[in-house]
């Protein structure tokens, strides 16, 4: 299984970015897709997650500014980030909890990370 993230970059405060993460491989079922972030000197934290059925949860710090969505056909998760702040600067990692062929278990996978820098 591979999680390929894209969409990071440099943006001014108040700007927007859209992250994408496509899961590929022998995927049977996806339980959840999400985004985490890690700023320098800090622990990795959950930003947003979408669970099968469409239920979402967000970190308090991004509620009302970020929106997570998924395309079930493309096995892709998106994170629309609006009204970005300097404190949103971090490496963003996509995460998937999914089942692959040949197993009944769900396993967690991580993407390679994409840098988001919010600065004027």
List of E strands, the chain: 2-6, 9-11, 17-24, 27-38, 45-51, 56-58, 66-71, 76-81, 90-100, 107-110, 114-118
pLDDT confidence of residue 119: 96
Pairing type for strands 9-11 and 114-118 reads parallel
Average pLDDT value for residue range 3-11: 95
Whole-number Cα distances in Å, 115 to 92, 97, 99: 6, 22, 28
pLDDT band at 47 (very low <50, low <70, confident <90, very high): very high
């Amino acid at each position: 299984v591979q999680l390929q993230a894209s969409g990071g970059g440099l943006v001014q405060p108040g700007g927007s970015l859209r992250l994408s993460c496509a899961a590929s491989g022998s995927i049977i079922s996806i339980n959840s897709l999400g985004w985490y972030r890690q700023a320098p000197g800090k622990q990795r934290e959950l930003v947003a997650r979408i669970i099968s059925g469409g239920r979402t949860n967000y970190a308090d710090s991004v509620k009302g500014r970020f929106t997570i969505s998924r395309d079930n056909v493309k096995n892709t998760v998106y994170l629309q980030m609006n009204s970005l702040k300097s404190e949103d600067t971090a490496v963003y990692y996509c995460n998937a909890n999914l089942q692959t062929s040949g197993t009944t278990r769900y396993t967690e996978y991580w993407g390679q990370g994409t840098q988001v820098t919010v600065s004027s």
